[in-house]
Amino acid sequence: MRWRLTLLVAATTSAVVLAFLIPLTLLLRSLAEERTLSTATSDATNLAQIAAANGAGAAEEALKTAAKAPKGPLGITTVFLPDGDTLGAKVGDDSKNVDRARNGLAFTNRADGEAVVYAPVLSTEGAYVVRTEVSGAELHDGVGQASWILGALGALLLALSVGAADTLARRLSDPIKDLAAAADSIRDGRLDIRSPEHGPPEVVAMAGALNRLSARIEQLLISERESVADLSHRLRTPVTALRLDVEAIADPEIAQRIEEHVATLERTVNAVVQDARRPVRPNVASRCDVAALVGERVAFWSALADEQGRSLRTWLPSRPTWARIDPVELTDVVDVLIDNVFAHTEEGVPLEVTVNTNAAHEIVLAVQDGGNGLPGADVVARGHSNAGSSGLGLDIVRRAAIASGGRLELGRSRLGGAKVQVVLSPAETRTRERMRQRRGSAGGGLGQKLRKLVGQS
């Protein structure tokens, strides 16, 4: 916007300057011609009067005197005497115009950018005619210098207007840039950021509205987290009661299985409480070994797979695959994906879980089954389900993938059923992180500020 405003003012000022300079230059040219012709006519008339009053000798002396002047004669001057002789410069056949002037008519002929002045004076001896040629350079003497001065003044005016426009545009655009930066920070979850309220009144009003909106969102989010934490805390009581009831079950195998489920439920409740109590600002340093965690969760679900006669195959890389996601969130993702297969396919349907890295170095977690496939692409929509469930599972997976900088992809598996693929952004390794910190510390004060900002985030 700053450059657009500056260019607009520059274009407008240029148009105004040209609108004044062009007519003014033409006026100067016309005034210079009139001044030169008036001077030439006056000098020619004076010379003719000298010749008529004092004779040809006096006229010849006047011509010599004019030739010795600093500027020389005004033009090529010729004096036509009454007896037909001439003094001064020789010219071609111009008898027609000279005869016209002998009748007492003073006039000027203009042709090819030059002018010829005829000045007659009548005497008892006859008519003396002075003919003076004025070249184009003499006609427009001084016009070029005046035009350069006007052009310089116009350029100075243009530069001053552009500088003033740039200053004004910067004062207008800088507050808008600050407002946009604050909005981007709020979008990234930094709700404690406030936009500076400066600039034009409209921008100040907008910044104030954005600050109030950010504060209100922060209050609502804190209130929501507190409500979720309270609700999760209340769930601990029935979970504890379930754990006590498990101890009363006589069958040790069933008791152990239910106790594992209760432990899983308790971990989930604790995770919800911890997630609700986390600060609003996201933890940019979250990282997790996807292969190791997926291996742990597959081992947990393998017992249920054996009970239902499912073939649970896995392919996990032997080396760590670090992704930019919190381990608790990744645990929820894996449990949701595997639980969906158990909940929405028949017993005995095979299941496959794989983890690999694509060409963009992203970590890809894929869960495939041999069931009937997904009922539709809208199953990702929050609260939407074609199988009678809450419809929140895949939405939780999608939001976790997006929060890590990745995405959720749905398709058809090679087993014939559904394929749900979670693409996660890779996390920095510890070695790269230490190298980056060393480079930051070598940068002096800037590195310290960057480390401080990362620590705060």
**Maximum CA extent, the chain:** 159
Decide if domain 2-144 falls under CATH 3.30.450. yes
- Per-residue confidence at 186, pLDDT binned at 50, 70, 90? confident
- Per-residue confidence at 424, pLDDT binned at 50, 70, 90? very high
Q: Which amino acid is at 171?
A: R
Q: Cα 439 to chain center, whole Å?
A: 30
CATH number of the domain located at residue range(s) 189-281 in this protein:
1.10.287.130
Residue ranges of the domains in the chain?
Answer: 2-144, 189-281, 288-426
Residue of 288, 308, 367 whose CA lies nearest to 334: 367
The encoded tokens of residue 53 equal: 């009053």
Contact criterion met (CB below 8 Å) for 120 and 129: yes
Q: Is pLDDT of 282 > 50?
A: no
Q: Is pLDDT of 431 > 50?
A: no
Residue of 251, 324, 342, 337 whose CA lies nearest to 294: 337
Q: What pLDDT, on the 0 to 100 scale, is given for residue 285?
A: 53
Reported as a single tens digit per residue, the pLDDT across 199-249 is 888 888 988 998 898 888 888 887 777 777 677 667 767 777 777 777 777
pLDDT (average), residues 358-386: 74
Intrachain domains 2-144 and 189-281 with the same fold: no
Alpha carbon distance 285, 455 (integer Å): 9
> Which SS3 state, helix, strand or coil, does residue 192 take?
coil
Return phi, psi of residue 145, to 5°. Answer: -65, -45
Q: Is pLDDT of 455 > 90?
A: no
Q: What pLDDT, on the 0 to 100 scale, is given for residue 275?
A: 62
pLDDT (average), residues 118-136: 85
Reported as a single tens digit per residue, the pLDDT across 48-61 is 888 888 877 877 77
Q: What pLDDT, on the 0 to 100 scale, is given for residue 64?
A: 76
Q: Which amino acid is at 448?
A: Q
* Alpha-helix residue ranges (DSSP H) falling in 55-103: 56-67, 95-102
Contact criterion met (CB below 8 Å) for 146 and 28: yes
Alpha carbon distance 240, 348 (integer Å): 33
Structural fold of domain 288-426: Heat Shock Protein 90 (3.30.565)
H, E, C per residue of 407-434: EEEEEECCCCCEEEEEEECECCCHHHHH
C-alpha separations of 29 from 26, 108, 142, 145 in Å: 5, 18, 9, 11
Give the residues across from 420 on adjacent strands.
Answer: 367, 410
The encoded tokens of residue 22 equal: 């062009």
Reported as a single tens digit per residue, the pLDDT across 310-350 is 899 999 998 989 998 888 888 888 988 998 888 888 888 99
* Alpha-helix residue ranges (DSSP H) falling in 112-142: 136-139
Which H or E element spans position 299? helix 290-307
